[in-house]
Structure 1
Amino acid sequence: MKTQRPITRDDEHVVLKFRPRTSACPPGRREESGDQARTSPAANDLSRYARPGDEPDDFRHRMLANIAAFAFAVALTAIGIWLAMSIADLRKTQDCVLMGRHDCARISGLPRG
């Protein structure tokens, strides 16, 4: 049996040369000057994010924001736990019904006796 090989031409194969990335010249921040790409000194300057020294720290606002974030995290955790327990309970009930049993549903509010 004859094996089939794809027909290839020499002009389809091209070798690409990749230059390694360095932290000195990120892809989006290049300024061409001759053969070397350089970053501007303002790109690495973090002083624009610093707060002025004469501005007082608003401790009360920061604490209220922290309390609100903590309350939101606690609420999300509680909702997640409730949802997981509800899904587990529904799964148990569904498994019971699929087995053909008739006493699967919980009846609350009826007197025992």
Structure 2
Amino acid sequence: MKSQRPVINEDEHRVLKFRPRTLGRAPGQQSEPRRDALQNDVRHEADDLSRYERSREEPDDFRHRMLANLAAFAFTVALTAIGIWLAMSIADLRNTQDCVLMGRRDCAHISTPRT
């Protein structure tokens, strides 16, 4: 059977120059100096984070925030403990399976009560 290979034309392979989008205007447009100054002022206003600040008039609910943090911490600890338990269980099962596949007979751990 004949293998098909794609036909490669040199016109299909071009390297395009990467131009980052840091300019406030489209490439190729000439801007006036006053307009650039205005755009810089707008850019500095956009970098200002004061619009995300809460007003001082709203009381901070410290207790609710601490309870939410405590709940998140407890969830993280529980998730970590479950992950560790699961990893150890899988490792124990793997060791038992390896033991059985080797043909050994004393693979199961049987706990006997001490008297």
TM-score strictly above 0.5: yes
Q: CA deviation at 1:72?
A: 0.4
Matches within 5 A, 1:3-82: 11-12=11-12, 14=14, 16-19=16-19, 21=20, 25=22, 30=24, 32=26, 34-35=29-30, 40-41=42-43, 43-82=46-85
- Name the structure where helix makes up a greater proportion of residues: 2
* Unpaired segments ≥5 residues, structure 2: 1-6
Identity fraction in percent: 67
> RMSD of the TM alignment (CA)?
3.3
TM superposition shift of 1:76: 0.7
By how many angstroms is 1:12 displaced? 4.9
Which ranges of structure 1 fall in alignment gaps of 5 or more residues? 1-5
Superposition TM-score, scaled by structure 1 size = 0.66
Q: Per residue, is there more strand in 1 or in 2?
A: 1
TM-score by length of 2: 0.65
Aligned residues: 100
